[in-house]
Amino acid sequence: MVSTELLSQSIINGLLLGGIYVTVGVGFALVFGVLEIIDFAVGEYVMLGAFTGAIVAPMVGGEGLLVVPLAFVAFFLVGVVIQPFIHHVTTGDRPMPLLMGLVFTFGLATFMRGSILTIFGPNTRNVPTNALSGGIEIGGLGTFPEVRVVTAVVGVLSLVAFMYYLYRTTGGTAIRAIAEDRDIARLMGVNINRYQSIAYGVYAGLTATGGVFIGLIYSAGPGMGLQYTAFAFFMIVLAGLGYLPGIIISGIVLGLAQSLTAVYLGGELVFFVLFGMIYVLLLVRPEGLLGKGEVA
Amino acid sequence: MGTENDLTVRDRFQALLGRDDAHLWLFGIGAVVLAVLPFALSTFWTRIALGALMWIGLAQSWNMIGGYAGYLDFGHGAYFGVGAFVTGIVMVELELPFVAGLLIAGVFCAVLAYVVGVPTLRLSGAYFAIATWAFAEAIKELALILEITGGTYGMTFPTGPGTSGIPLVGWPDEMFFYYLMMVLTLGTIALAYFLFEHSEFGFRVKAIRDHEDAAQSLGIDATKIKRRVYVISCVIAALFGGANAYYITFIHPNDVLAPIITDQMIIMALLGGLGTIGGPIIGGVLIFLLNRLSSLFLGNTTIYLPLIGLLIMVTVLFAPSGVIGILRGEVGREDVKQNLRELAEKFDIL
C-alpha cells in the first residue's frame, strides 16, 4: 500500500472514530457542568450500551442498529433515576460533599462493571449487524467500513440534536442556567431536580448509544469501560473542564491520535501516552488547551 | 430491646474512649493479642490474619492523605506496585536481601512521591483525583512496557534461607510474614495516631482539609504540610507493597498495580470512617473478610466487585462517617430516615 494512502486512511478512520467519541464527551462535560462532579461511571455506560447491543440484537433479528434508539431510551431512564442519588450525595450537610460524589460514582462504576462480569462472564461478544456489512468508497481515498461511516454520521447528528436542545429550547436553557449557578437558577424558578435528571439522563443515553456503536465497530466486553473513562477524561481535560464546544475538537483529536498511534507507533504505547498526557495536561494547563475551562 | 441495648454498648464504648489513656491501652492490648494470635491459629487462618493486617495498614495509609488531608488519591495503589517492583529489582538484579530491597523501595518511593507531589498537590478536588488516577494508570502501562519489571511476563522473587537478610530467619514462612505485617501495621497505626491525633501537625492537616484558604491565611504552610502527608502515606503503601511481593513471590503489573488495590483502600477507609484511627481498622477487617469469604463460600471471585460497589454507594448515601460514625452515635436511625426523606424529595422530577 502506498504510504500516503495509509496516512489518509488512518486520518479518515480517526475522524470517523472522533465522531462517536464526541457524543460520549459532550454528555460527560455537560454533567460536570451541571452536577459539578466527575462521573467515574462514564466508561461503564459505554460498556453497558455495547452489552445491550450484544444481548438485545439477536432478539431483534440480529440487527444491532435497531438497538440504538432502545438503548438511548433505556439509559435515559436509568440516568434519570440515578441522578437524584448523586445530587443527594453532593449536597446537604455531609463532610466533603464533592469528594463524596466522586467516591459515589466510583462505587457505581465498580458495581456496574462487577455486575456484568458476574452475570455474563469475562468473554467479549460481538454486536451483530446485517445492514452495515459492506464498505463505502470515499473519493479515491480508500474504502471504509459502512459501520464506521454510519457511526460517525449518527454521532454528528446526535451532537447537533443535543446542541439544539441545549441552546434553542427552554429545557436546554434551564440546564445551562443550572450549570452556571445552581442557586440562582433555583431562584429563577427552575425545577433543579427535573432538569438535572434530564441532563444526566441525556448523558447516560448518549453515552450508552455511543457504546452500542463502539460495540458494532469493535466488540462488547465487561472490562472495556475503563478505557472509555480514560478517553472521556482525556477529552474534557484537553477541552478544559466544563467547556462544551471544546469537546468537539478534543474528541476528533482523540480519534486521530488513537488511529495514528495504533498505525505508526504500535498498540502497547497508546495507553501509556494517553494517561501520561492526561496527567501532564492537568498539571500544565488545567484550563484546557483552548484555555476556556474552569481552573481548580 | 434493640435501642436500650445499643445505647449501653455505645455508652460503654464512649466511656472507654473518653479516658485519657484509653487509646494507649487499646493499642497495647491489641498488640499483645496480635502477637500471640498465630499460635492459636492454623496456617490457613494465619494467612487470612496477615492479609487483614496488611489491608488495615494500607487503608490507614490512604486515610492519611484521603481522610485526614481530604485529598482523594485515586492512584495510591501505584506506590504499592512501585514498592513491590523496586524491592524485586533490588533483590533480583542487585542480589541484595529483602530488608535492603524494602528499605531502598521506601527511599525510592519517598523521592518519587515528593517529585510527583510537588506539582500534583497544587490541584484539588476532582482535578487531583483524575490526575492521580491517570498517574497510576500510566505507571501500570509503563511497568508493562519496561524490561526491568519483566514487562508482561511479571517478576519472580528469590526465596529460601538467607534471602530475607534478617538474622535467625530461615526459610521465610507464614509466621515470618505475619510478624512482618504486624510490625508494619502497628507502626502505621501508631504513626497515624501521633501525627494526626496527638500533635499540632494533625490540627494543621485537618485545618487544611476543612478550609484550605482559611488555614493558609492563618499562617499554615499548606503546600509543605500536604506534601509531607502525601510522602508519608505513599512510603507506607510502598513498604506494604514490597513486603507483600516477597510474600507472594510472583508479581505482575496487572495484579500489584491493578486499580482494585486503590479501590479497596478507599472503601475500607470510607466504610470504617474517614479521618479516624479506628475507621481503617474496622473497614479493613470487614472488607478483607468479605473478599476472602465471598470467594471461599460463593466460589465466585467476581461477585465481590458488585458487592463492594454497592457498599461504597450505600455508605456514602447513609453513613458518610462510616462504622465509627455509627458507634459514636453520629449516624442513627433518625439520620437514615432523614436522609431517605431528602433523597425522596430529589425524585420530584415531574
Q: Where are the domains of chain A?
A: 13-130+143-284
Residue A102 to residue B72, Cβ atoms within 8 A: yes
Min CA distance, A181 vs chain B (Å)?
Answer: 18
Nearest Cα residue in chain A from B142: A272
Rounded CA separation B144/A125 (Å): 26
Strands annotated E in chain B: 155-156, 250-251
Any residues with CB less than 8 A from the CB of B275 and at least 6 apart, and which?
Answer: B63, B67, B68, B70, B196, B206, B209
Chain A residues 58-97 with a CB less than 8 Å from chain B: 80, 84-85, 87-89, 92, 94-96
The lowest-confidence range among B52-66, B124-138, B175-189 is B124-138
Residue B267 to residue A283, Cβ atoms within 8 A: no
B305-340 exposure pattern, b = at least 16 Cβ within 10 A, e = fewer: bbbbbbbbbebbbebbbbbbbbbbeebeeebeeebe
Please name the helix (run of DSSP H) or strand (run of DSSP E) that holds residue A135, with its range, or none.
strand A135-138
Residue B320 to residue A268, Cβ atoms within 8 A: no
The lowest-confidence range among A58-62, A177-181, B58-62, B160-164 is B160-164
Q: Report the complex ipTM.
A: 0.86
What pLDDT does A293 receive? Answer: 66
For all residues of chain A together, what is the average pLDDT?
A: 86
- Which of A84, A107, A279 is facing B346, going by the closest CB pair? A84
What pLDDT does B292 receive? Answer: 86
Side chain identity, residue B162: G
- Chain B interface, mutation test: which of A31, A85, A110, most B Cβ atoms within 10 Å? A110
pLDDT in tens, B14-48: 666 666 677 788 888 999 999 999 889 898 899 99
Contact predicate A256/A15, CB 8 Å: yes
Distance of CA A239 to the CA centre of its chain: 14
pLDDT over 80 at B269, yes or no: yes
A115 interfacial to chain B (CB closer than 8 Å): yes
Residue A85 to residue B313, Cβ atoms within 8 A: yes
The SS3 of residue B221 is coil
**Contacts A111 to B, Cβ<8 Å:** 305-306, 309-310, 312-313
Residue A89 to residue B316, Cβ atoms within 8 A: yes
Nearest Cα residue in chain A from B299: A118
- Which of B129, B274, B303 is facing A102, going by the closest CB pair? B129
pLDDT band at A19 (very low <50, low <70, confident <90, very high): confident
Nearest Cα residue in chain B from A32: B126
